[in-house]
Structure 1
Amino acid sequence: MPGTIEAKLAELGITLPAVAAPMANYIGYNLVGKLVVVSGQIPLVDGKIAVTGKVGGWVGIEQGQQAARICFINLLAQVKAAAGGDLDKVKRVVRLGGFIASPPDFTQHALVMNGASDLAVAVFGDKGRHARTTIGVPALPGDAAVEVEGMFELE
């Protein structure tokens, strides 16, 4: 029987993907006591980067928000693995960090990152409210438009 969070994901039409393998010499997550620190996730769907390019260039804000949402879904897959398969063990989304590939004159990074933040709150309710940093960068691995990292507290 699925837990409360799994039921919420199903209600939102979200199926978690398999955990993505790291692209270099690092691990997908690090469990330190009750904190899960998740490495940056790009918008992978079925093993391919779903949104590439620069937000504010040829990628619109709405596409960037969707990319951030996909990144958060990939974060959840990592957290589920760290929590032994039970997302109901998540006590709080502590922090999200967003990296938005964008031209130098783009200033709407926070709007893009709301794609991840809004989903965190939709999935976890008040436990999904988190601290956040969002920055613009000239490029991301694989030409991904967005990358999101996170920190979660487990029960």
Structure 2
Amino acid sequence: MSVAARLQELGIVLPEAAAPVANYVPWVIDNGLVFVSGQITLQDGKPQYLGTLGADLDVETGRAAARLCAINLIAQLRNALEGDLERLRRVVRLGGFVACAPGFTAHPQVINGASDLMVEVFGDRGRHARSAVGCASLPLGVSVEVEGIFAIA
């Protein structure tokens, strides 16, 4: 099944990829890898899922936030690949950042929202290495940010 068909089956319409808001580029291609800058929980240009895990938000809400970040990652990847997501060979690595209260330890469960989506969309090509870390705050007050490295043909 094509990636486009899988996205349609999942009911996912990829948004327009967000433009950078500081001095960086949204993605870089080097030696068959696409490095996508961290994507936050933007939807229709507005930040969603504001607050911190373990204080304002629960783990399931955090998973939904991470899933939205992953959708935004795929949108950036689509731009990097000039619209051809079939060029993806593998999701190599995701890095997840969770704005959380002191003592919060469920970072992996939150970032599973992004990891699970990569496997849902890309199948075995979506299985990847990963890190999930907590931090005091993230841009615009969002709760989750996810970056990715992708191998391409």
TM bucket (normalised to shorter chain) is over 0.9
Which residue pairs with 1:142 in the alignment?
140
Deviations along 1:59-85, one digit per CA (max 9) or x if unpaired, are: 111110000000000000110011111
User: Aligned partner of 2:145: which letter?
Assistant: E
Deviations along 1:41-72, one digit per CA (max 9) or x if unpaired, are: 00100001111100111111111000000000
What is the alpha-carbon distance in structure 2 between the residues aligned to residue 108 and residue 27 of structure 1? 30
- SS of the residue aligned with 2:140? helix
Aligned-residue CA RMSD (Å)? 0.8
Tell whether 2:94 aligns with 1:103: no
1:95 Cα deviation from its structure 2 partner: 0.2
Which residue pairs with 1:45 in the alignment?
43
Tell whether 2:125 aligns with 1:130: no
1:34 Cα deviation from its structure 2 partner: 1.1
- Within the candidate set 51, 63, 66, 1:65 is matched to 63
What is the alpha-carbon distance in structure 2 between the residues aligned to residue 84 and residue 32 of structure 1? 15
What is the alpha-carbon distance in structure 2 between the residues aligned to residue 57 and residue 39 of structure 1? 27
Tell whether 2:119 aligns with 1:112: no
User: Aligned partner of 1:88: which letter?
Assistant: E
Question: Identity of counterpart residues, as a percentage?
Answer: 53
1:33 Cα deviation from its structure 2 partner: 2.4
User: Aligned partner of 2:59: which letter?
Assistant: I
What is the alpha-carbon distance in structure 1 between the residues aligned to residue 2 and residue 105 of structure 2? 37
* Segments ≥4 residues shifted beyond 6 Å: none
What is the alpha-carbon distance in structure 1 between the residues aligned to residue 28 and residue 8 of structure 2? 27
1:146 Cα deviation from its structure 2 partner: 0.0
User: Aligned partner of 1:66: which letter?
Assistant: A
1:101 Cα deviation from its structure 2 partner: 0.2
TM-score by length of 1: 0.97
Which blocks of at least 5 consecutive residues in structure 1 are unaligned? none
What is the alpha-carbon distance in structure 2 between the residues aligned to residue 34 and residue 123 of structure 1? 21
Which residue pairs with 1:54 in the alignment?
52
What is the alpha-carbon distance in structure 1 between the residues aligned to residue 31 and residue 78 of structure 2? 16
What is the alpha-carbon distance in structure 2 between the residues aligned to residue 41 and residue 115 of structure 1? 14
